[in-house]
Every structure is written in C-alpha cells, then in structure tokens.
Structure 1
Amino acid sequence: MTVSALPARADAVVIGGGVIGTSAAHHLAEAGVDTVLLERGTLGGGASAHTAGMVRTYFPGAPATGHRAVRSLHAYHDFARRTGAPLGLKRLGFMALFTDEEQIAGFEADRPAQQAAGVDVRLISPREAVALNPLIDERAVLAAAWSPEAYHVDGLDIVRGYAAGARNHGARLYTHTPVTRIDDDNTVHTPRGTITADSIVCTAGPWSGEVAALASVDLPLAPQAIEMLFTDVPPSPQGELPMTMHAASGLRIRSWKDRVLLAMGAPGAGETRDAWLGRVAGHLGTLFPALDGTGLHRAWSGDFDASPGNTAFIGAHATRRFVYAAGFTGAGLCQAPAAGEQLRDLLIAT
C-alpha cells in the first residue's frame, strides 16, 4: 500500500507484518477495531518466509503450544471462508524419532497432556516408521511418535490471505515503514510520520525485543539463527516424505520437490560452518543411510524470535496499552491464527 503519510490516530497499531502480525491485524479489524499495521520491510519478508513450510500440532514436551496449534489448524481449514484466500494445505504428517529409552518414557509421560490439548499423536514401532518414511534406518531407532495432522503450506500465502482479509475489514497496512521511537503516550514515530495508538500490538518477530524496548517494555527474547539445507538431487526419485525429526539432535527432514529439505539449527558459538555441516551429515547418514554422503547446499537462512523456554510470550503489559506475541522459535506458522485471536481478546479486554 503506497501512501504519503500515516493517519493521526488508530485504535491499534500492529508493529510487524509477518504471519503473526497480519493475523493480528485481520482478527482486530474483523472485530471492528480501527487497525493500522506497520512493517519495516515487505509483508512476510522476515521469519515467515524462512521456514520449512509446515503447520503441525504435535510439539514434544509442549502441550500448550499444541493446543494453540490445534486451534490454528482448525482456522486454516476455514481460512478461505474467513479471508477469501484459499490455502493449499497438503497433508504430510510429522514424526519424531526416539533413539533412547528416556525419550520414549518422556513421550509416555507427556501423552495425556497432549491428548487433552487435542493433539493426535501415538507411539509407533520402527517398522511402522519405515513404512511411513522409507529413508529411516530401522535399526537406528527404538520407536517414533507419529502425528498425522501436519501439512505443507506456503507461509506467504497465509500472510497474503490475512493481509487481504485485514484490508477488507478496513485495516490499513504500511510496508517499508520502520518504527524509530515510541513515546509514553503510544505515539509511534516512523520516517513516514507519526501515529498515536490507543494500543500497540508488538508482533515483530526477531525484532520484538527491540520494538518492546522502544516502549520501555522488557521481553526476554534473543534472535536465533537457523539455516535450511537442500540435499543433492537423489539418483532415484523420492516419494512424498513426512516431516521427520530426530528427537536427540533436532535434525528435521522432509521432501521438497525433487530433493530433501533439512534443518538442524545453525553453527554454535565458536563452531565453524564446516564443523556444523559435519555434525548434520553424521546424523543424516546414521538415521537415513540413503542420504549418507549426499551433498548439502544452503537453501535459505534467517533469524527467529526465541524465548528462553521455546514457548511463545503472548500477553499484555501491566501498566500501558501494549500487547505482544513473540518467541515462537520458528513455529509461528503453526500458531498464527490462535495468536491473532488471543491478541484481539487481550486488546479488547484492556
């Protein structure tokens, strides 16, 4: 949206135009809240564009995240009706591979809370895991968690759909409009001008801590780097693979067109990229022998907003009209609809 200046006021100013921010703008505008969204770059140009393109409901050890993800998946199935923009959800499923008995015990202890949250997940044998993902070495795993409710989706389709829905309900969205200062009265300063908000909604992803600090709000967040990798094109075509995660290392793989897409964080402090790639290749070869020795190539990289416990912060400041949703640690796509609903409810309640 190209305009010369910002409006003088708005009920809500959403800062950040990724999947969480556009969801918030849509849900607020749909509820009749006069909403303006400010994005420092392009819509969805940050963390929302640097993901594996999966929405899932099972998060090991985090049933509260699973609860938001279940609510969000229901919303995605209803996305076209709510926003007018269809999503191409393609079911792949999600599997977590367990390589020691403690991981299995942890799964069993966690399962009642997962089921109470509405998460569809069960323990399967190595043979059943191989039937779902033939790349797995059956001898390398003891068991696996299998959750069929996991889908491929283009994160930018979600952003565009929510942005269109927000505009249809009267929200105004401004790109290339970084926030430079926030006054005590919630006047937001940008190179395009100033706007005073009854409430500020912070959804700036990896920059949420910086945005909150402008308003003298402390959010204990730290950007976390991740690099996605492609394998070489395999000599024989691969079938469609579920997203498969090694519980011990966090290595995740899934099919991506004619290759395999994988991720395992990024080089640690003091670790060279070559050393990190060696660790990735080691786990890859042990768990998925058909990929042993395959070339690994950078697909894309970026930063995510990480919270200390990898659980998102969604809340309202105690003394000023400032609400926030941050710390999704790469799982924002999975939780965006529910997060937008929570921000709407928090803002209306304050």
Structure 2
Amino acid sequence: MMGPRVVVIGGGVIGLSIAYHLAEAGVDTTLLERGTLGSGASRATADVVRSYFAGNPISSALAVRSLDAYHAFPTRPGTDLPMRQVGYLVLFSEPDQVTAFQADLPDQHAAGVDVDLISAEEARKLNPLIGDLPLLAAAYSPQAYISDTTAIVTAYAEAAQQAGATLRTGCPVTSIDIHAGRVQTANGDITADAIVCAAGAWSTSLVRCAGVDLPLTEPIEQELLLTDPLPPGTPDIPVTLHAASGLLVRIRGNRLLIGMGYPGPDRQAWRQGVATQLAATYPSLTGLALHTAVTGLRDASPDRTAFIGHQPGPPAFLYATGFSGHGLCNAPAAGELVRDLFLDQDPGIDVTALAVSPRRTG
C-alpha cells in the first residue's frame, strides 16, 4: 500500500530522480511536467558527469555521491548507462587561480574528490590540442565521464513508473496553495500531503507561493556549440576547461562540443568570442565553423550551489532547485536527500548547508 501523497513539480533529471526515490520508498508520487520530460535544463547538457567543482566542495560532495549511483545504475534502478571515462582538466593561466585551487584542495579531498595539481607539461600530454598559450599549471580529476542525459532521464522515468509513480507531461503548474496542500494546474487541481518544487528555471514563483524566499537568478539560456568535423587524427582529450575564459570543450563523435558562459542578448558577438578563444587555446582548430548544438533554460543560485530543503507541514513543502548547471552531476544525490528529508531519515550529510538561510541569501 502506498504512503502519503506527494506531488513533484518538474520533470527534468532532478524531479525524476526525486520521483523515483520517493516511489521506490513506497510514497504515492505524482510528477507534473509543463512540457516533455527532460525538456528544460536537462536538454542542454554536455552529457558529462564529474565530481570536481572548483571552489564548491558541497556540490563536489553531492557529485561524488551521485557518481557512485551512476556506476550502480545497472543494479539500481536497473539500466546500463554509457560511462566513458575521459577525465576533467582545468587550465590555469594566472597565479591566483593556482592559489585558489591549493586553498580549496583539502576541502575537495575531504568531499571524496580525486583531484590534484599537475604541471603545464603534464596538461599538454593529456590534451595535445593545447596551443602555446600561457599555462602555469592545471587541475586534473580522473573522475569525469561522458554519459547520456537522455538515457538517464528515460531510466529514472521508467523506474519511477515501475515503482508506482504517476508522470504527467504537458501539465504546467500555475500556482500552489501550500496551506491547503493544493497544486493548481491548467488541467485541474491536485491535493497532496507534500509538494516538492524541482521546477528549475520555473521555480521562483512556485517557491514564493510557499512562502520560501530563494534568491534564484533569472533563468539563463544556455547554448552549446558543435564544430565542423575535426581534422583526421585528432586525439581524444579530457573534458577541458580554460579557467580564465570559461571555454569548456569535449569530443563528441568527430566534432568538438563547446560551451563558454552564456550568450546574452548579442548572440553573434558571443559566438565570435567563442571562436576567438577557441583559436587561441587550440590553434589547430582555427577556422572550424561553429553550429548550435542545443539550447535550454538553466536555473542558478548566487553561490552556484543547489538549494535543497524542507519546510515541515502538514502539508510539507520541499525544494530542490538552483543547480546552476550541476544538475546532471547532482541528480541522484538530490533525489536521495529529498526522499530522506520527507521521510525524516538521516541523509548522511549536513543538509543545512543546502537549505535557504541568511548566510546564503544575505
């Protein structure tokens, strides 16, 4: 027999992980998604799962826990995922970047992250495409994999349904009345013992309805680019971030997948900036045409760490939002934490660091 009724708002990888973990624990779970499953931020990922998030050991700890869960996917929930290990390389061109890395390193190791400082020479061996740009050192973490976000979304959706969850797509939530435990949708109202907001870029108004003040930034449009086919013989490389510019690249098939910040209002100028930085960092790729690979709205918090918390009821209100591009890497842990908060179980980590608080909103 199913337990209390919970409504999860948001059908991206975070909401689906929550729905799966709740339903698996015997909770009567309904998930509501405004569009199709995985159509928000989950659509615009580089399909990279990694554990190292510079200067953010809390996100790193969630990612370490999540990476363990992804490795265990063939057993639970029971789906084989592509997991091709490529490593994650961060290029440092300025002394303060090296200083900041060294200051952050003890907390990263305490979070379980395998990451260390390597020389510029070692970095160029790992990524032979790097040109003659100023390079002092690099961070390298072998714990980075190319996976498949769509496969993860599908696996969580199927496992949630098999565990008894109801997934409703094309069902935008217009408002919530937390005191009545009522979720208002375009297709009618739903009552619940608890409401979980995992709506990503659409979370702000919903959490405000529940009386929770999360300082989420305005939704940001993410765009990833693909190059024309790479020259024959181009070597495989780690996922590589140029710290000064934010240029992030990885090989996808016979092309390079690229991200660099956010386009903003002048998309043409942004794309020209990407091309310029790509040529400076990887001269052998100069002149390759760039094409849009994918776009999607992304939620963000001021400190780039997710908000995960619990406002006790009844009816209870829980939230998991503001993942700032870390959602795919944090999703399994986020689902476990929301489940444990709802069931009043020990989540195994200090969740007060993730909740809304004066420290995070001041």
Write the distance in 1 (CA, Å) between the matches of 2:41 and 2:166. Answer: 22
1:265 aligns with 2:261: yes
User: What are the residue-to-residue correspondences of 1:116-135 with 2, within 5 Å?
Assistant: 116-135=110-129
Write the distance in 2 (CA, Å) between the matches of 1:277 and 1:160. Answer: 32
Specify the alignment match of 2:175 in structure 1.
181
Specify the alignment match of 1:201 in structure 2.
196
1:48 aligns with 2:46: no
Write the distance in 1 (CA, Å) between the matches of 2:80 and 2:231. Answer: 35
Specify the alignment match of 2:237 in structure 1.
241
**Structure 1 residue matching 2:52: 3-state secondary structure:** coil
Specify the alignment match of 1:251 in structure 2.
247
Alignment counterpart, residue 316 of structure 2, candidates 314, 321, 341? 321
Aligned residue type for 1:203 = A
Moved more, 319-328 or 90-99: 319-328
Aligned residue type for 1:134 = P
1:347 aligns with 2:332: no
Alignment counterpart, residue 192 of structure 1, candidates 187, 193, 208? 187
Specify the alignment match of 1:103 in structure 2.
97
User: What are the residue-to-residue correspondences of 1:75-94 with 2, within 5 Å?
Assistant: 75-94=69-88
| Alignment deviations for residues 214-240 of structure 1 (CA, whole Å, 9 cap, x no partner) | 434322212122211111212324232
- Figure out how many residues of one structure are paired with residues of the other and give that number: 340
Q: Is the 8 A contact 1:55 1:152 kept in 2?
A: yes
Specify the alignment match of 2:220 in structure 1.
224
Aligned residue type for 1:197 = A
Gaps of 5+ in 1: 1-8
Specify the alignment match of 1:6 in structure 2.
none
Specify the alignment match of 2:355 in structure 1.
none
Gaps of 5+ in 2: 346-362
1:23 aligns with 2:26: no
Q: Is the 8 A contact 1:206 1:303 kept in 2?
A: yes
| Alignment deviations for residues 99-138 of structure 1 (CA, whole Å, 9 cap, x no partner) | 0111011111111100000000011111211111111125
Q: Is the 8 A contact 2:59 2:326 kept in 1?
A: no
| Alignment deviations for residues 73-106 of structure 1 (CA, whole Å, 9 cap, x no partner) | 0000111211122111111111110001110111
Alignment counterpart, residue 309 of structure 1, candidates 298, 303, 307? 303
1:281 aligns with 2:284: no
Write the distance in 1 (CA, Å) between the matches of 2:153 and 2:292. Answer: 24
Q: Is the 8 A contact 1:225 1:265 kept in 2?
A: no
Write the distance in 1 (CA, Å) between the matches of 2:141 and 2:316. Answer: 39
Write the distance in 1 (CA, Å) between the matches of 2:310 and 2:132. Answer: 48
Q: Is the 8 A contact 1:224 1:329 kept in 2?
A: no
Aligned residue type for 1:164 = E
Q: CA deviation at 1:318?
A: 5.9
Specify the alignment match of 2:207 in structure 1.
212
Write the distance in 1 (CA, Å) between the matches of 2:268 and 2:78. Answer: 46
Moved more, 141-150 or 309-318: 309-318
**Structure 2 residue matching 1:328: 3-state secondary structure:** coil
Write the distance in 2 (CA, Å) between the matches of 1:140 and 1:299. Answer: 29
Specify the alignment match of 2:68 in structure 1.
74
Write the distance in 2 (CA, Å) between the matches of 1:111 and 1:321. Answer: 38
Write the distance in 1 (CA, Å) between the matches of 2:121 and 2:132. Answer: 6
TM-score by length of 1: 0.93
